[in-house]
Amino acid sequence: MISSVKRRKKSLSQTWNKMTTTFNKTAIVDIDGFRLCNQLNEILEGILTHA
């Protein structure tokens, strides 16, 4: 069971890295963009710590 959670975390973080890379390439980085990124990071960290 623990290994399946670790696998899920790993695939989640890989998906997340792809998303943030795409976001960083396409987004015009402004204050709202930073705020959005921070909110998404907090949400993801919450998911990962409770997974």
Provide the whole-model pTM: 0.35
pLDDT category of residue 37 using cuts at 50, 70 and 90: confident
CA distance 48 to 51: 5
| Res 10: pLDDT | 80
Decide if pLDDT at 27 tops 70: no
pLDDT band at 15 (very low <50, low <70, confident <90, very high): confident
**Dist. CA 41–CA 20, nearest whole Å:** 10
Structural domains in the chain (count):
1
Q: Which residue has the higher pLDDT, 17 or 33?
A: 17
Domain membership of residue 38 as a residue range: 2-50
